[in-house]
Amino acid sequence: MKCRKCGKPAVINMRHHKLALCADHFIEWFVRQTERTIEKYRMFTRDSRILVAVSGGKDSLSLWDVLLELGYKADGLYIDLGIEANDYSKTSHAKIDAFMENHPGARLHVVDIKATYGESIPEVAMRVRRGRGKPCSVCGIVKRHEMNRIAIEGGYDVLATGHNLDDEVAVLFLNTLHWQTGYLARQAPVLPAENGFAKKVKPLCRFYEREVAAYALVKGIDYIYDECPFAVGAKTIFYKGILNQIEEKSPGAKHQFYLNYVDARRKGKIKFAEDDEEPPEMHPCPKCGQPTTAPGLCTFCRLWESNK
Amino acid sequence: MKCRKCGKPAVINMRHHKLALCADHFIEWFVRQTERTIEKYRMFTRDSRILVAVSGGKDSLSLWDVLLELGYKADGLYIDLGIEANDYSKTSHAKIDAFMENHPGARLHVVDIKATYGESIPEVAMRVRRGRGKPCSVCGIVKRHEMNRIAIEGGYDVLATGHNLDDEVAVLFLNTLHWQTGYLARQAPVLPAENGFAKKVKPLCRFYEREVAAYALVKGIDYIYDECPFAVGAKTIFYKGILNQIEEKSPGAKHQFYLNYVDARRKGKIKFAEDDEEPPEMHPCPKCGQPTTAPGLCTFCRLWESNK
């Protein structure tokens, strides 16, 4: 297989784009495609201050790398969850430190959950769930709260996450199987800022996972290969397997499924009842000040309150 | 496994309903569920004159049987397509004749395509497609035209077809994978009559294929087991296989996927741009009188015209 641009040996063949490229031309293509996504969905501009949520995985580090490459003002945010199994948090942090060494001038915020709030994610989850089930929902609450806090406190214009096409497709597929119109209504490459919540964007949402992995590989970005030890869920693996079968049968199917959806939504061709609903009334949490629907403490603050 | 109603040995276990039933109670349940579907979606009433499209397969013959059982005024329509491969049309017709013998008083319309229009489906398809591809699209045009013609000429209030849940789910799944909003907008258990087109209903749309097969089996309805020799398509088989994997993983998933969709549509929770579009202007075909969008002959009449 040869690069379509220069005829050198190709490092990747993207069947859905009918495009094989060598290392140099793939990087060029990937960076340009990211810029196009940012512009197409009006994610941010050269003047925006961007906070990139980095986990140490290939997606978030590749995103940060591309944004810096393109000259955007992008700072990182690493949330240390304190997950000791498989040395997960320690290894993640080390990968980000290595990234920083290769990107002099890059700026990183680090939030250590245990140091800041007294318990790691597995510890708080164990306490509030009394040992039952996985800590994933607690982890989601904490991460969303902290990402938003740092974005708002730091005066960032936008919070960027590394979700790739495969991530977005799996979520869209599950929400569609159940026709969860509330969730469907909120699935988009951009969620605008609204009463106290930062604007959220997903600049890699048009890349397959393997394209992002190829970018990290070719650019020599070292990242943590393992998924979070708690995230290894039969459900997601099963549905990603189903989607891979469909993609195998009909290359580009995932791309089409996600982008046709996003496009139809943007053009108003698909509407949900939730689109016209008034957003729920928000109150500032009396403790942290972040917006919450209930009158008392927000869900995040209640997590720690129940420790008293 | 025992019948939940009477404790006798069960003939079927419906995991998604958590319901195992013996032969007698299954038949009672099936008939009652059909009546509920008819009422819930306002398909027709006791006074309606119903035309049931029968192919000789389990779905259409079971539908006709249930409607007669419930005392509805339901006549059959068999369209002889003239498919000689595997004796398909001959066998289909024979199954319907056997059904008629067991249902004295039932009335059947038969349209023999070759006798009426001069060519069988494979013949006309071979001519207009010049031997390329399958006759399925031509067959669809002919069947839709003839079903509508007999329904309108015979003064029927409604045309009923035997589509089961698995059929509807496969179509919905494919249309969703591509977000074909025009097709999605028209997928419903009931399509109202509109300018020259008869009302169309699918009373079995809430039953899994295996439930309809069980009904036919228990009632001793003999039907043609083979699919149409032309319909054996890799695509449909592949996607039905995918959906079966999802159902296996999460029993009731197909039921939920289809019925959540139908429900959300009925409640206006999902809207498509096509919902608000004016229906295209229709002209009566100068030859057959059926409505058509183009000014000249309708698609059906053009099939035969090109033979001149």
- pTM, to two decimals: 0.92
Residue B155 pLDDT: 97
| Token pair belonging to A66 | 């591309």
Which chain A residues have any C-beta within 8 angstroms of a chain B C-beta?
176-179, 181, 238, 242, 245-246, 249, 253, 256-257, 260-261, 264, 267-274
Contact A189, A41 (CB under 8 A): yes
Q: Mutate which of A258, A270, A275, A277 to disrupt the B interface (most B C-beta within 10 Å)? A: A270
Nearest to A177 among B257, B267, B268 (CB): B257
CA angle in degrees (0–180, nearest 5) for A10-A99-A119:
130
Identify the pLDDT of residue B135. 86
Q: Is B269 close to A267, i.e. CB distance below 8 A?
A: no
Helix (H) or strand (E) holding B149, with range, is helix B136-153
Residues of B in contact with A179 (CB under 8 A): 257, 260-261, 264, 270
- Chain A neighbors of B245, CB-CB under 8 A: 242
Q: What is the DSSP-derived secondary structure letter of residue B279?
A: P
CB crowding B177-212: b at 16 or more within 10 Å, else e: bebbbebbbebbbbeeeeeebbbbbbbbbbbbbebb
Question: What's the DSSP call for residue B158?
Answer: E
Q: Pick from A179, A268, A272: which is nearest to B260 by CB?
A: A179
Is B178 in contact with A257 (Cβ distance < 8 A)? yes
CA distance A205 to chain B (A): 17
Q: Which of B176, B260, B269 sits opposite A272 (nearest CB)?
A: B269
**A56-81 burial: b if 16+ Cβ within 10 Å, else e:** bbbbbbbbbbbbbbeebebbbbbbbb
* Terminal-to-terminal C-alpha distance of chain B: 63
| Residue carrying structure tokens 């700072």 | A75
Predicted confidence band of residue A255 (pLDDT cuts 50, 70, 90): very high
Cα-based distances in Å from B211 to B13, B21, B63, B205:
10, 11, 12, 11
Q: What is the CATH number of domain A43-275?
A: 3.40.50.620
B242-267 in b/e form (b: 16+ CB < 10 A) is bbeebbeeeeebbbbbbbbbbebbee
For the ranges A44-58, A260-274, B129-143, B208-222, which has the lowest average pLDDT? B129-143
Distance CA A109, CA B222 (A): 72
Would the CB atoms of A181 and B245 count as touching at under 8 Å? no
Q: Could you tell me the fold of the domain covering B42-275? A: Rossmann fold (3.40.50)
- Distance set, CA A257 to CA A161, A168, A237, B246 (Å): 21, 10, 19, 18
Mean pLDDT of chain A: 94
Who among A242, A256, A267 is closest to B246 (CB)?
A: A242
Give the type of residue at A89.
S
How many Cβ atoms sit within 10 Å of the Cβ of residue A31? 17
Q: What is the pLDDT of residue B136?
A: 87
The pLDDT tens digits of the residues spanning A217-232 come to 999 999 999 888 887 6
Q: Do B270 and A179 touch (CB under 8 A)?
A: yes
Identify the bridge partners of residue B51 per DSSP, sorted by sequence position. Answer: B75, B159
What pLDDT is recorded for position B308? Answer: 54
At A128-166, the pLDDT tens digits run 877 677 788 899 999 999 999 999 999 999 999 999 999
* Domain spans of chain A, in order of start: 43-275, 278-308
Q: Which residues of B touch A261 (CB under 8 A)?
A: 179
Please report, to the nearest 10 degrees, the dihedral formed by the alpha carbons of residues B4, B7, B10, B13 taken in order: 20
The closest CB to that of B238, out of A179, A249, A256, belongs to A249
* Tens digits of residue pLDDT in A5-38: 999 999 999 988 999 999 999 999 999 999 999 9
Q: Do B269 and A273 touch (CB under 8 A)?
A: yes
Check: CB of residue A140 under 8 Å from CB of residue A149: no
DSSP labels for B169-225? HHHHHHHHHTT-HHHHHT-SSEE--BTTBPPEE-TTTTS-HHHHHHHHHHTT-----
A292 vs A199: CA distance, rounded Å:
17
Does A257 contact B181 at a Cβ distance shorter than 8 Å?
no
Helix (H) or strand (E) run with residue A75 in it? strand A73-80
Write the pLDDT tens digit of every residue in B55-101: 999 999 999 999 999 999 999 999 999 999 999 999 999 999 999 99
CB within 8 Å of A185: residues ≥ 6 apart: A272, A274, A275
DSSP secondary structure, B9-52, as one string: BPSEEEGGGTEEE-HHHHHHHHHHHHHHHHHHTT---TT-EEEE
Burial degree of A227 (CB within 10 A; 0-12, 13-18, 19+): middle
Give the pLDDT confidence of A102-115 residue by residue, as tens digits: 999 999 999 999 99
> Which residues of B sit within 8 Å Cβ distance of A?
176-179, 181, 238, 242, 245-246, 249, 253, 256-257, 260-261, 264, 267-274
**Residue A287 C-alpha, separation from nearest chain B C-alpha, in angstroms:** 36
In the β-sheet with B108-112, what is the strand arrangement from edge to edge? B108-112, B73-80, B49-53, B158-160, B200-201, B190-191
A·B CB contacts under 8 A: 58
Say which range, B18-22, B41-45, B228-232, B243-247, has the weakest mean pLDDT.
B228-232
What integer is the mean pLDDT of A84-101?
95
With residue B284 as reference, give the H or E element that holds it: strand B283-284
Q: Determine whether the interchain pair A181/B238 forms a contact, defined as Cβ–Cβ distance below 8 Å.
A: no
| The predicted structure's pLDDT at residue A230 | 84
Residue A90 carries which side chain, given as an amino acid letter? K
Show the tokens assigned to A183.
């969730």
Contact A253 B179 (CB under 8 A): no
Q: What is the dihedral sign for C-alpha A110, A115, A117, A120?
A: positive
> Is the per-residue pLDDT at B27 higher than 90?
yes
Average pLDDT over residues B289-293: 91
User: In whole angstroms, what is the distance from residue A234 CA to residue A97 CA?
Assistant: 31
